[in-house]
Amino acid sequence: MSRRWCVLPRRGVVADPRGGWEAIPMGTTLFESVERRAIAAEPAAIDVALLGLGTVGTEVAARSRADEATNQLIRVVGALVRNRDRPRDARVAGTPLTSDGLSLLDRSPDVVVEVLGGLEPARTLVRTALERGIAVVTANKSLMAVHGDELLRIASETGAPLLYEAAVLAGVPFLGAFARRPRAAALSSMTGIVNGTSNFILTAAQKGGGDCATALAEAQRLGFAEPDPGADVKGIDAAEKLAVLARHFGFGSIHPAAIETRGIDALDHLDFFLAADLGGTVKPLVHAERSGDSIGAFVGPAFVPWPHKLSRIDGVENAVVLRNTTGELLFSGPGAGPAATATTILDDVVEAAEGTAHKRDEAVRSVRPQAPATSWMLRVGAAGLPPADEMADLLGSHGVWLRRTSLLHTRDGRQTIGALTYSCSRERVERAAGVLHAAAGAEVRVMRAIEVDGRR
C-alpha cells in the first residue's frame, strides 16, 4: 500500500501516517501516489451489477449516484432483466440492460446486487459471484432462508462479503448492529411482526369491524398487498424471514417449511372481539426461543396483551423484540417498500465495497424446530355452553389450566366465550379441546398467546 500524506497548509507541516512531522515552506505542493479510492477530491466509484430491475431494482438504480455522506459514487454497470424491450421508469434510462446474468459477472463488478426474488436463477448467479470473490448484497429472503447455509459457506471460503440486511426488515436495518457484538447477539428468544401486509390486514379488520376480506382489498388498493397475497396471509413470507433471523442470531439453520406456520386467513370478527374482551389484540407473530439444546419456533396469529410492546405496532409497521441477558431490545419501523429497501441495499453496497463488512466464519448447525409450549387463547362456542367453572374443571383434568375468561356472548342463539390458558403444549391443548367438544358439543378454536413478561 502506498503512503498517504495529510497537508496542513496554514501551519506549513505535513503529517506522515507512520508518525512524526516534517516542516515545509508555506505554499509547497506535495504529490504522493495514493490508492485509487483514497482520493478525496473525487467520489470513489463502486461498480454494481444489478440482478433484477423490478420495483426495488429500479429504485436502487435511480438512487445510485454520488453520496455526499460517504463520498461514494455507486455506478450501475448493467442490469439483468427478462425483457429488454419492456418500458422502464424514466429514472433508469440509459442503464445497460442484458438478459444474460453471467455476462454481467464477467464485467468484474465490485458488488453484485440481487433483487430478483425467488430461488432461481438467483441462487446460481449469487453462488457464481461469490465463487469469483465478488461481494454480494441481496434482499431475497427466500434465497437466504433456503440456501443461506451454502452461500454463507462459499462467502467464508472466498472472503467475499455476503450482506442481506434488506432481506428481513428492510426499513429497520438492525442485523449489522449485532455483527461485531457476540454477547449482545446471544439471544434467548425473539418475537416479532415481520410481515407488513398481514399486520395491516389485522389492524384494519379490528378497527373496521373484523372483516379481513375487506381489509385485504384495501391493502391491495393501497399497494400493501400483492394481487396474489397467499405468501403473506398464509405466513409463508414470515416463516422465511424467521429462518433468516434464526440463522443470523445463532439459533441454528432452520428450513422455513419445518416451522409451525399458521395463516391469518381463518380469523373473523369474533376472534378480535374476544381478544379485546380478554385485554389484548391479535397480531401476526414470529417467535423463536432456545430451550436447552433444542429450538422452539412458530409463525401465526397470536393474542398479545395490551401492555406488550408489540400490541402497539399497527398498519404496515414491523417490529422485533430481542431478549438477551440484559433484557429486551425493541426494533421497529417500516417493514419494507421500495425506498426503504433500496436505501438499506445501498448502505450494504458501500459497506461491502469498503471491506468493512463483518465476515461470519462460524458454522451454524442444522436444527428441526419444535412447537414450543405457550399460553393459548381459546374460543369456545355452542348453542348452549356448560357453566364456565365446569369447562375449566374439564380442561384442567387434561392439563390445561385457565388464566382468565371473557364474558359470555350470545348472538343468533349461539353462545361464545373466550379464555386464556397457562403455558402448555399444542398437543395438550388440542387434546383437551377435543374432550370438551365431545363432552359439550362445543366448537373449540385455539390460538397462541404471549404475555408481557416474556412468558408464553
Between the alpha carbon of residue 370 and those of residues 296, 303, 367, 378, 428, the distances in Å are 5, 20, 9, 21, 14
Chain centroid to CA 35: how far?
37
Beta-ladder partners of 334: 317
Q: How far apart are CA 399 and CA 290, in angstroms?
A: 23
Encode 20-30: b = buried (16+ Cβ within 10 Å), e = exposed. eeeebeeeeee
Is there a catalytic annotation at residue 283?
A: no
Three-state secondary structure of the chain: CCCCCEEECCCCEEECCCCCEEECCCCCCCCCCCCHHHCCCCCEEEEEEEECCCHHHHHHHHCCCEECCCCEEEEEEEEECCCCCCCCCHHHCCCCEECCHHHHHCCCCCEEEECCCCCCCHHHHHHHHHHCCCEEEECCHHHHHHHHHHHHHHHHHHCCCEECHHHCCCCCCCHHHHCCCCCCCCCCEEEEECCHHHHHHHHHHHHCCCCHHHHHHHHHHCCCCCCCCHHHHCCHHHHHHHHHHHHHCCCCECCHHHCEECCCCCCCHHHHHHHHHCCEEEEEEEEEEEECCEEEEEEEEEEEECCCHHHHCCCCEEEEEEEECCEEEEEEEECCCHHHHHHHHHHHHHHHHHCCCCCCCCCCCECCCECCCEEEEEEEEECCCCCHHHHHHHHHCCCCCEEEECCCEEECCEEEEEEEECCECHHHHHHHHHHHHHHHCCEEEEEEECCCCCCC
Within 13 Å of residue 277, how many CA atoms lie on the same side as its CB? 20
Cell of 120: 432461481
- The one catalytic residue in 234, 241, 283, 309 is 241
Cell of 130: 461469490
- Positions marked catalytic: 241
